Chains A and B, each alone.
Chain A
Amino acid sequence: MLALFYILAALSVVSALIVVSARNPINSVIALVVCFLSIAGHYILLNAQFLAMVHVIVYTGAIMVLFLFVIMLLNLNTATEPMKSLGMRVAAVTGGGLLFITLAAAIRHGVTISATNDFDPGVGLVKTVGHVLFTEFLLPFEVSSVLFLSAIVGVVMLAKKETPSPHPLSDGEGLTPAELERRR
């Protein structure tokens, strides 16, 4: 069981490194899908079945397909991205490494963590999580639908093309200079 954990952990870390270092954005997306699937494996290992299913459906199924759609739509699948300067890249790697070392040292000499409740293996089942979600967290669950509604409205507002106003002669907004010249 410990070996399974190590295999999944190595898979997620290596694919995360590929996400950061790949030149082609398509390779980054594929590596991120592998990373998310290995994290879903971690959830199954922790017996969080509800989260594993939601994670696979929402992240791997919806969000990564959205990323792929945008990359294909904007024709970004070329490896001609300009790199940052060498000093910036060295600073990024050093900063990330120092962040990890600091966090690891904090947990190494930090407080010991002891379980607060009695051990219950069925804590991540759909029945348990669903019961808590629909009793204790019912209001946040409903409010999140308002969040999604506002996100939909915001996305439509942002991604809409700037269309010319319905009466182009009343105001010159939305017309190219050549068109304005022609109308005069």
Chain B
Amino acid sequence: MEEGIITAIRIVPLEHYILLSFLLFSIGAAGVVFRRNTIIILMCLELMFNSVNLLLTAFSAHHSDPRAQVFVFFIMLVAAAEVTVGLSILVMMKRNVDSVDVNQLNRLKG
């Protein structure tokens, strides 16, 4: 089974991983525009982060370079920090305007 997993890097073409990542990224980008619930918009951002991570990992395995995987690790760290700050802003928004609708956040509009 271990041999099978190791050869999987060579069997699955790189283009398949690229197309899968593009598809996940497009779904996330459409979801950011599609939804009004701020928490779902944050989840769509996570989805886009993960599609980029998957693409970096696929390229790393294809080129046999471990540095891209370290980059994915750092992206995960930054995403964790970003999610905590985003969710606390969400809690503050719910407390102040009693809603999680992004259309309520239009005071910065010029």
Contact B77 A1 (CB under 8 A): no
- How far, in angstroms, from A9 to B94 measured CA to CA in the complex? 36
B residues 4-45 in Cβ contact with A at 8 Å: 4-12, 14-20, 22-31, 33-37, 39-40, 42-44
Q: Which residue of B lies closest to A58 (CB)?
A: B76
Contacts of A44 in B (CB 8 A): 5
Task: Indicate which residue in A16, A84, A148 contacts B36 across the interface (CB closer than 8 Å).
Answer: A84
Contacts of A96 in B (CB 8 A): 26-27, 29-31, 33
Task: Indicate which residue in A16, A19, A45, A116 contacts B12 across the interface (CB closer than 8 Å).
Answer: A45
- How far, in angstroms, from A151 to B64 measured CA to CA in the complex? 34
Contacts of A51 in B (CB 8 A): 53, 57, 69, 72-73
Q: Which residue of B lies closest to A43 (CB)?
A: B57
- How far, in angstroms, from A96 to B30 measured CA to CA in the complex? 5
B 64-85 to A, binary, CB cutoff 8 A, 1 in contact else 0: 1111011011101111110111
Contact A158 B88 (CB under 8 A): yes
A155 close to chain B: CB less than 8 A: yes
Task: Indicate which residue in A25, A63, A76 contacts B80 across the interface (CB closer than 8 Å).
Answer: A63
Contacts of B61 in A (CB 8 A): 46-48, 123-124
Task: Indicate which residue in A17, A55, A76, A151 contacts B85 across the interface (CB closer than 8 Å).
Answer: A151
Contacts of A119 in B (CB 8 A): 9-10, 64
Contact A39 B50 (CB under 8 A): yes
Smallest beta-carbon distance B46→chain A, Å: 7
- How far, in angstroms, from A170 to B79 measured CA to CA in the complex? 43
Contact A25 B37 (CB under 8 A): yes
Contact A13 B24 (CB under 8 A): yes
Contacts of A152 in B (CB 8 A): 84
